[in-house]
Amino acid sequence: MIPKRFRIEFLARRREFITLVGGVAAAAWPVAAAAQQSIKTATIGFLDATSRSTQGQIASVFVQRLRELGWHEGRNLTVNVRWAEGRRERYAEIAAEFVKLKVDVIVTYALPAIFAVKQATSTIPIVFAAASDPVENGLVASIARPGGNMTGLSHQSAELAGKRIEILREVVPTLRHLAVIGNVTASNTVIEMQKVAAVARALDVEYIPLEIQRAADIQPAIAGVRGRADVLYVALDPLINTNRLRINTLALGARLPTIEPFREFVEAAGLMSYGANLPDMYRRAGDFVDKILRGAKPADIPVEQPTKFDLVVNLVTAKALGIDVPPTLLARADEVIE
């Protein structure tokens, strides 16, 4: 039997231990509670101006980059993706929805969609994954110091007009009649078409504009230049991008070699593309979003411009058109689709 004195000491020490443990737990509880409260799910509104079938894979690149940076859907990230299907009226609707949802960042691309988001909010951070000359088009104050609530990446597509026509002339040395298809309701497309016209004049090449405003305009526009044009220059726009396979199919039927803005167009049966790497731009957009979610202000994040442009050639399309692509051009190509 345990002596009474030892039982009293044991009970006293037991009370001290319980008190000590209870005090530690009580002290730790506010810290644990605060840590739990600090875990906030970031919400992103992703407005794609085209369609899931057109841009789905590129959107996945963006989400994958965020995952690499520590943002996981279902854990600390929610991405609300909306597809505008190239319909201009949808841009404002989706932008208003994101403002109502109070998302932390809005990601989009293409000037019409970017302007819609810009008009919808002056406080929610906006990242454009690909924009045409953001300074000239009034999106940001400067490349180095964007100002406001917007920053992102510029693809400089319009500035490449001269280089694209130069590439066309290597494949079609007898180029005399240049058709250009573009959506004239988009300001960036109008600017690009003007640049193409200026280059054509300098080369004494006839400039044939195919001005469209909706998908229904595409077929008659291309059919109207069959036998009149030597090549088809495809100007960048969400409407054009959404219908790129249709455009290339019609161009093949009209025996028109094409030069287009991105690799994705060449994958859809286009002949050649020269432009920035679109998946890489969406990947970099993920870095912009990460910085903003961690406290950086869009006004202080410089706009990025591509330092490299990819030349992609589709030899399957070349064969269908009966065109022999010069070996010197193929040697310079970043990718050849066979």
Q: How many domains does the chain have?
A: 3
Q: Which domain holds residue 271?
A: 158-275+309-337
Phi, psi of 313 (to 5 degrees): -125, 135
The chain-wide mean pLDDT, for the chain, equals: 90
- The pTM score is 0.84
pLDDT at 101 over 90: yes
Q: What single DSSP character describes residue 316?
A: H
> Average of pLDDT values for 140-150?
96
Whether residues 313 and 296 share a domain: the answer is no
For range 249-257, the mean pLDDT: 98
Q: What is the pLDDT of residue 187?
A: 87
36 within a domain of the structure (yes/no)? no
Are residue 168 and residue 142 in the same domain, yes or no?
no
DSSP state of 310: E
CB 179 within 8 A of CB 225: yes
39 or 180: which leads in pLDDT: 180
Please report which confidence band the pLDDT of residue 99 belongs to, taking 50, 70 and 90 as the band edges. Answer: very high
Q: Is 22 found in the same domain as 69?
A: no
pLDDT for the residue numbered 13:
52
Q: Are residues 107 and 173 in the same domain?
A: no
Question: Per-residue pLDDT averaged across 177-185, rounded?
Answer: 97
Same domain, 148 and 295: yes
The whole-number average pLDDT for the span 119-132 is 96
Statement to judge: residues 204 and 287 lie in one domain: no
pLDDT at 77 over 50: yes
Q: Would you state the pLDDT for residue 22?
A: 47
Sequence-distant (6+) residues with CB within 8 A of 184 are 190, 193, 211, 212, 213
Same domain, 83 and 162: no
Same domain, 283 and 226: no
Question: Based on the domain organization, do 110 and 221 belong to the same domain?
Answer: no
Task: Give the CATH number for residue 166.
Answer: 3.40.50.2300
Looking at the fold, whether 179 and 234 belong to one and the same domain comes out as yes
Percent over 90 (pLDDT), the chain: 78
- Structural contact between residues 55 and 129, judged by C-beta atoms closer than 8 angstroms: no
- Any idea how long the chain is? 338
